[in-house]
Amino acid sequence: MRTCDVVIVGLGGIGSAAAAHLAARGVRVLGLDRFPIAHDRGSSHGQTRLIRLAYFEHPDYVPLLRRAYELWRDLEARTGRRLLVESGLLTAGPCAGPVIAGTLASATRHGLDVERLSAVEAGRRWPVFTLPEAWTVVHERQAGYLFVEHCVAAHAAAAEAAGATLETDAQVRDWRAHGHGVVVTTDRGEIAADRLVLTPGPWAAGLLQLPAVGLTVLRKSLFWYRPAQSVQPAFAAGALPCFAFDAPTGFFYGFPALDDRGVKVAEHSGGESVGDPLAVNRGVDEAEQRRIEAITTAHLPTLGTHRADHAVCLYTMSSDHHFVVGLHPRHDRVAIAAGFSGHGFKFASVMGAALADLAITGTTALPIGFLSPQRFC
């Protein structure tokens, strides 16, 4: 039977970060994934992910985000890759709605640098936007985007450079506590380890052995629109900030044009339930496309509707839409990270550090208590 200090199951955004942090601390790490590094079958692909400090979901995330920014910059310095771009983020919607109210509440509690604008003021500064006058706009300069596949690849490269072994095309079937450690069963045989880190993304419900958590998986679509040549400069990176609209029909977000595919736009709300992550429909859903184009026509009218690309990713949702991170309630040698509910990738760098702490000592100084799986038990 093969042996190591820590086995990591799943090498997406969170698992690759955990591998990098553990290996950097001298731990013998074996990371396993059924797909190649930075694959497009799960939740950590699709060119970009938003990163922001004024977190409307809950103010308790902000200290973690501050550390995440530091760790992303550290990873850039160690790997020589550009991973995080502070392009700014324009968030618009009703002042009393959960997005604007939550953003301003987090900014106030943590003293964050945000600018509150009227819709008219925002339209003067960025003429591509057409926003209802009743909406409030918040501009966060330090927000921006992460190059998602590059981030996963950078963490994986850092892990291997520090001595980790990462194996793809390896399917994990089960795990069990055994003596003072764990045994992981794979299609290549069994592996014994002192500790186990579970970061299986959309496959979490079947691997965590925690039915009370009640994870579900949603299919989400990403769309890219290529603007006409005459207006391309207004939508280019450096000119256009990232944007998010808390509209009556849902919550939508997007990014400036980073390549010839153009502007990426997606809906954070909604989504179709997925039974088998391996069998998800990756084609274009015309109803989803109509919802996206209704928003862009209303609020980015000069963008047009020339769809240049499309991709599908998966959200693994917890019942309260907050992350599930901590020691397994029944196995203190198993650390878990799941249920990132479509807003977790920006935290990958700091979640990797927290999981490394948990795997080595069973505790962490990082403020993740509010994310503990114990809240479901």
Query: SS3 for 305-337, per residue?
Result: CCEEEEEEEEEEECCCCCCEEEEECCEEEEEEE
Distance (Å, whole) CA 270 – CA 278: 20
Helix axes 348-361, 62-79, angle to 10 degrees: 90
Tokens representing residue 49 in the block: 């992910």
Catalytic residue among 195, 268, 291, 299: 268
Catalytic residue among 34, 48, 79, 195: 48
Catalytic residue among 21, 34, 41, 49: 49
Contact call for residues 226 and 262 (beta carbons, < 8 A): yes
Which pLDDT tens digit goes with each residue over 209-264?
999 999 999 999 999 999 999 999 999 999 999 999 999 999 999 999 999 999 99
Which pLDDT tens digit goes with each residue over 55-66?
999 999 999 999
Specify the pairing of strand 242-247 against strand 250-255.
antiparallel
Please give the pLDDT value at position 154: 98
6 pLDDT higher than 90: yes
Please give the pLDDT value at position 28: 98
Token match 């390549």: residue? Answer: 259
Please give the pLDDT value at position 317: 98
| Mean pLDDT for the stretch of residues 46-60 | 98
94 pLDDT higher than 90: yes
Distance (Å, whole) CA 253 – CA 242: 8
Token match 């990176």: residue? Answer: 237
Contact call for residues 327 and 320 (beta carbons, < 8 A): no
Residue 49 known to be catalytic: yes
Give Cα separations from 295 to 131, 154, 246, 253, 258 (angstroms). 11, 34, 10, 10, 20
Residue 220 known to be catalytic: no
DSSP E strands in 233-330: the ranges are: 242-247, 250-255, 263-267, 272-273, 307-317, 324-328
| Mean pLDDT for the stretch of residues 174-198 | 96
Catalytic residue among 91, 313, 322, 343: 313
Please give the pLDDT value at position 338: 98
DSSP 3-state of 189: strand
Mean pLDDT score of the chain, rounded to an integer?
97
DSSP secondary structure string, 72-123?
A: HHHHHHHHT---EE---EEEEE-TTSHHHHHHHHHHHHHT--EEEEEHHHHH
Domains of the chain in start order, with CATH, are 2-45+149-208+321-376 (3.50.50.60), 89-142+216-317 (3.30.9.10)
Length of the chain measured in residues:
377
Please give the pLDDT value at position 328: 98
Give the single-character DSSP code of 241: P
Backbone phi and psi for residue 78, each to the nearest 5 degrees, phi listed first: -75, -30
Residue 313 known to be catalytic: yes
Please give the pLDDT value at position 9: 98
Residue 45 known to be catalytic: yes
Which pLDDT tens digit goes with each residue over 259-294?
999 999 999 999 999 999 999 999 999 999 999 999
Residue 48 known to be catalytic: yes
Give the pLDDT band (50/70/90) at residue 152: very high
Please give the pLDDT value at position 206: 94
Distance (Å, whole) CA 241 – CA 145: 10
| Mean pLDDT for the stretch of residues 171-196 | 96
DSSP secondary structure string, 125-172?
A: HSTT----TT-EEEEETT-EEEEHHHHHHHHHHHHHHTT-EEE-S--E
Which pLDDT tens digit goes with each residue over 301-316?
999 999 999 999 999 9
Give the pLDDT band (50/70/90) at residue 372: very high
Please give the pLDDT value at position 377: 87
| Mean pLDDT for the stretch of residues 166-192 | 96
pTM metric for this prediction: 0.98
Amino acid of residue 10: G
Catalytic residue among 41, 45, 52, 328: 45
Q: Return all residues near 46 (Cβ < 8 A) that are at least 6 apart.
A: 40, 148, 222, 264, 311, 313
352 pLDDT higher than 90: yes
Catalytic residue among 21, 195, 328, 346: 346
Distance (Å, whole) CA 129 – CA 123: 6
